[in-house]
Copies of this chain bind each other. A is one copy, B any other.
Amino acid sequence: MKKLCDMQTDELKAFEQQAQREYDDFKSLNLKLDMSRGKPSPDQLDLSMPLINVLNGEELVTENGADCRNYGILDGIPEAKKMFADLLGVAPQNIIVYGNSSLAAMYDTISRAVTHGILGNKPWSKYDKVKFLCPVPGYDRHFAICEYFGIEMINIPMNDEGPDMDLIEKLIAEDDSIKGIWCVPQYSNPTGISYSDEVVRRFAALRPKAADFRIFWDNAYCIHHLVDEPKNILNIFDECNKNGTEDMVFEFASTSKITFSGAGVAVMAASENNVNSIKKQLGISTIGFDKINQLRHVKYFKNADGIREHMKKHKNIIAPKFEVVINELEKNIRPLGIAQWHNAQGGYFISFNAMNGCAKKIVSLCSQAGVVLTNAGATYPYGNDPDDSNIRIAPTYPCVEELTKAMELFCICVKLASVQKLLNSK
């Protein structure tokens, strides 16, 4: 196959006609497939069905005798704190076991910072302007929280090792209105890139001008490996300890993509200073989260290793789906030289970069043929991808057969949009 950029106009026209024919054929199949979100597939959810019944016949008390059925225990039952502490490599006193979603924990954390400030600092609502750094492409729901609270977002380019640390260090050293940064350090959403040791060390060593600058370390995919011998990122709190910067990091995780999405357990890790302050604020808004569901998770997994073992079953289901995506792209797109993508070692997404100005067109073509992708632009603050290039592919939900069909269509749409772009620029 010839690269598209090496083709003459008549070759491009022939290529376009062929792609258009293939596209029209697909349209007549009347596909109907939603790949817009990173949702677990039904067979992944089936893995956790024993969780539903695991408390049958169990006494619903914590290891120190508290009744999980009654009020109380703001920060989680001790055995759940221990299990998640082990998983994240911190001490139990650094853990708050939250409700059903880490998104809610992140939202609450920002909301409280806006209304009440962080660790005795001025509420963010009292500043003329509050800014966040947003490595891009990134997670749309992070950006939505910032936009909702009127927090100005600044794009930070990602490279293969993580976000551009030179730029981050420079910006936060000079601008104290920058109050935070969103990070998905392992298998970043959507790029799949894991932060290098060097990047994690530089994060832990940041010297922000703002005392209330916080790193929102959304470790959503910390154990969501797609390979047998995964490389884990460095433990940021270990690195912070070396720098005396433990207060600078809020870490988040959940079992949404481990057990059940929405019926799982979320967790926040932070310094004891932060935990104590957060617990005081949290005590106004709740008497405690769902302790029975925490107990359910502990009885099912036993410990952090139990969770890690469970994740291998997820890997067995979803790794072949990631392969389908990569194989289709390698076969159909690579030879044409019209796009780049990252072969993720874990997480939930493959990030696809089309030729500039083609992403919206590709997503629209797919949609017209029955395959709904995440909106082009969604991976950028304000939904605005300045290059109109990035598309987030979420392979987990469809079955392999559907996914293969969808990727065939996707590749045709990429070809069609790309060739039309080239023809239009002639």
Contacts and interface: CB of A to CB of B under 8 A. Distances in A.
Interface in A72-120: 72-73, 99-101, 103-104, 107-108, 111, 114-116
B284 A261 contact: no
A217 to B, nearest CB: 19
Interface stretch (A51-59, A165-173, A191-199, A364-372): A51-59
A211 interface: no
A204 to B, nearest CB: 29
A40 interface: yes
A28 interface: no
A67 interface: yes
A293 to B, nearest CB: 7
A361 B182 CA distance: 52
B285 A262 contact: no
A370 B96 CA distance: 31
Contacts of A286: 101, 103-104, 107
A285 B103 contact: yes
Interface stretch (A142-150, A230-238, A241-249): A142-150
B52 A100 contact: no
A14 interface: no
A158 interface: no
Contacts of A4: none
Contacts of A48: 69
- Size band of the interface chain A makes with B: 35 or more
Interface string A123-141: 0010000000000000001
A98 to B, nearest CB: 11
Number of copies of this kind of chain in the complex: 2
Interface string A353-383: 0000000000000000000000000000000
Contact of A284 (B37, B107, B116): B107
Given A149-B115, A290-B290, A52 B42 contact: no
A256 B53 CA distance: 21
Given A52-B60, A145-B284, A262 B70 contact: yes
A39 B104 contact: no
A55 B286 CA distance: 27
A68 interface: yes
B263 A293 contact: yes
A381 to B, nearest CB: 14
Interface in A155-170: none
A58 to B, nearest CB: 8
Given A53-B53, A56-B52, A284-B148, A100 B290 contact: yes
Contact of A45 (B39, B67, B114): B67
The 6 A-B residue pairs with the shortest CB-CB distance, nearest first, are: A107-B285, A263-B292, A45-B69, A71-B261, A69-B260, A148-B284
6 contacts: A45-B69, A68-B260, A70-B260, A70-B261, A104-B286, A262-B287
